[in-house]
Amino acid sequence: MSIEKTYDEKDMVDTSVSPVQDYSLKHDDANVYVDPYTQFEKEDKGFFRNFADSFKPLDLGEIDPNLSGVERANLIAARSPLKRSLKSRHLQMIAIGGSIGAGLFVGSGSALATGGPAAVVIAWILTGIMMYCTVQALGELCIAFPVAGSFVQYNTRFISGAWGFCMAWNYALQWLVVLPMELVTASITIDYWNSEINSAAWVTLFYALVVCINLFGVKGYGEAEFIFALLKVLAIIGYIILGIVINCGGGPKGGYIGGAYWQEPGAFAAGFKGVCAVFVTSAFSFAGTELCGLAAAETENPRKSLPSATKQVFWRIALFYIISLTLVGLNVPYNDERLLGNSGAAASPFVISIQNAGIRGLPSVMNAVILIAVCSVANSSVYGSSRTIASLADQGFAPRICGYIDREGRPLVGVGISLFIGLLCYLAASAHHDDVFNWMLALSGLSSIFTWGSICACHLRFRRALQVQGRGTDELSFTSQCGVIGSCFGVLLNCLILMAQFWVALFPIGKPANPTSFFQVFLCVPILIIWYFFWVFYNKDYKFFLRSKDIDIDTGRREVDLELLKQEIAEEKAFLKSKPFYYRLYKFWC
């Protein structure tokens, strides 16, 4: 029985109708149509009345009060009325370029100065491999369980309620903090052209842009991210071509550079410790890669679009991170004073390399790309935090009102909380905004590491539950290309990164050890420990983890006719096997 059948039958029509078709299914009453996403009947009352009614809640139906906390959370997540209006092009562009932002364009400058070009390449390659394994694991889980809240809900399902509480709040706080920081970064980026106008004016403009985009719900987010990501992808491809030309001496001021900067001042700025210090910046630059999994619950056909989107992450890592940063390390010496002596675009190694080549006009173009990237991440932060807050309420980790989702699939309370926290962006006009935002960054600095490690752990627990309960991967429409080994590698590398950050935080490079520098890197860890034990004692939930035989691997599954699914998968494999080698190779990577 399909998920939609859990609703009250008298309020619904035949759920066999595809949710992707337009409002074409009409009744005898010309003013009544069927919402293609929720399958509920609606009355057309005119534009303004429909707009006002769209903010009303959608009833999720009766829920058995005898269900356990985990079972209740799984059922609510499966029934969520989030709209499935994201198309394949949206999801693929979100996967390819959705989270490319200041971490790559600006943060790579401080990483280059701290570790040197070789350290940057090593850190980004290792983090990139780990991210590919993580996204593959996430793709398998999201296609099997395309439920609201996505991977933050998987921690409760596959590990434990206490760990799910920690990770859900960890992820929500990460995105809540990102919004004001990105808006301030956007105002700083504008200073590259004009520093006379008060920062609060620019912050207001960008804040209004984010509000307008999110009023249109997931459709507005998808279209905005499609445009933003497309511009970022084109800009990075353009820079790769330009970087090769600059390295070969094609700039107005340039001679042949080659690998000169790897010889003098050198490939490493601080040896092995410098490599460890760079990991936190590389992790920050990859933050948001998992958003394609969060969007799975709002995708028309995740089984078809999500596998392709997860594969696109490989190309993003290889082309947009590794190649571009290798060229940056070849074209900019790590001892360039501008890397640490400036803020915003002025500290971007991408801009500095163009300036060093004597090319006029293009630095402003690259600055505009950085501005677009910052606005994109700010927009994504509202999307990520609002959906996570709604999932928190579904799991009983936040007040029930936080799970309010209107008839257009907008988690209004979550969006409102995110935008309210975003008002902290006006601290950009304060003389002490640097201190405030350093501590805000400390709250979410290592959040992504825990999120990614937990995704891999959930995948391992899911596979173990299948094995213990006598089930197999043949009932999955998509399996991770990296398999269990990839998830083991993901967990291991995330643990090693945490250990490296502990060492660097305790003994910073070139500075004496002090509590301030330590907690500005590691503040996230003690907060997680407090959250964990708070939930354990408050809820009297002393289970460290769920036993494999007790894990729920059925609630929320989109495909319930396992025999039909297995037949479809076998037919798809047979079709692929009949194709030429080059086609199979293309489908493997794309």
Mind listing the pLDDT tens digit for each residue in 519-550?
877 888 888 898 888 888 888 877 778 888 88
pLDDT score for 26: 44
Instruction: Go through 474-495 and write b for each residue having 16 or more CB atoms within 10 A of its CB, e for each that does not.
Output: ebbbbbbbbbeebbbbbbebbe
Token pair of 20, please? 């992707």
- pLDDT value at 557 more than 80: no
pLDDT in tens, 253-284: 878 888 899 998 988 988 888 888 888 788 87
Count how many Cα atoms sit within 13 Å of the Cα of residue 161 in the half-sphere of its side chain. Answer: 21
Q: What is the pLDDT of residue 590?
A: 66
Model confidence, pTM = 0.81
Which long-range contacts does 495-504 make (Cβ < 8 Å, 24+ apart)? 495/453, 497/127, 497/279, 497/280, 497/283, 497/449, 498/446, 498/449, 498/525, 500/276, 500/277, 500/279, 501/276, 501/279, 501/280, 501/446, 501/449, 503/273, 503/276, 504/273, 504/276, 504/277, 504/280
For tokens 């250990």, name the residue.
Answer: 499
Q: Which residues contact 274 (CB under 8 A, 6 or more apart)?
A: 114, 115, 116, 119, 268, 509
Statement: residue 351 has pLDDT above 60? yes
Per-range mean pLDDT, top range of 42-46, 65-69, 172-176:
172-176
Residue with tokens 């502990």: 502
Q: In this structure, are residues 525 and 446 in contact, taking their beta carbons and an 8 Å threshold? A: yes
Sign of CA dihedral 272, 276, 277, 279: positive
Give the Cα separation of 425 and 399 in Å (integer).
26
Tell which residue, 105, 179, 248, 198, has the closest CA to residue 417: 179
**Quick one: which of 442, 142, 80 has its CA closest to 290?**
142
Which residue did the predictor score with more confidence, 142 or 158?
Answer: 158
Q: Facing residues of 41 across strands?
A: 34
**Does residue 12 sit in helix, strand or coil?**
strand
Quick one: angle between helices 217-247 and 362-394, nearest 10?
A: 140
Count of C-beta atoms within a 10 Å radius of residue 567: 11
pLDDT at 251 over 90: no
Looking at the predicted structure, is the pLDDT value of residue 50 above 60? no
Average pLDDT over residues 94-101: 70
List, for residues 391-419, the tens digit of each pLDDT value: 888 778 888 888 888 767 778 888 899 99
Q: Give strand pairing partners of 417.
A: none
At position 293, the amino acid (one-letter code) is G
**With 90 as the cut, is the pLDDT of residue 461 above it?**
yes
**CA distance linking residue 165 with residue 173, whole number of Å:** 12
Contact 189, 377 (CB under 8 A): no
Instruction: Average the pLDDT over 92-102 and give the result.
Output: 71
Confidence of residue 143 (pLDDT cuts 50, 70, 90): confident
Stretch among 10-14, 167-171, 175-179 having the lowest mean pLDDT: 10-14
DSSP state of 74: H
Domain spans, the chain: 3-53, 69-559
- What does the pLDDT read at residue 10? 37
Task: Give tens-digit pLDDT for 568-590.
Answer: 777 877 887 888 887 777 777 66
pLDDT of res. 556 = 66
At which residue do the structure tokens 């495909």 appear? 559
Q: Quote the pLDDT of residue 331.
A: 92
Instruction: Give the Cβ contact number of residue 350 at 10 Å.
Output: 30
Taking the domain 69-559, which CATH number applies? 1.20.1740.10
In angstroms, what is the C-alpha Rg of the chain?
24
Tell me: the pLDDT tens digits for 482-499? Answer: 889 999 999 999 999 888
Q: Is the pLDDT of residue 439 over 90?
A: no
CB–CB of 178/447 below 8 Å? no
- Mean local confidence (pLDDT), 79-100: 66
Backbone angles phi, psi at 408, to 5 degrees: -100, 10
- What digits encode the pLDDT tens for the residues 206-232? 899 888 888 877 778 888 888 888 888
Say which residue, 516 or 295, is predicted with more confidence.
516
CA 553 to CA 461: how far, in whole Å? 11
Place of tokens 């590398």: 493
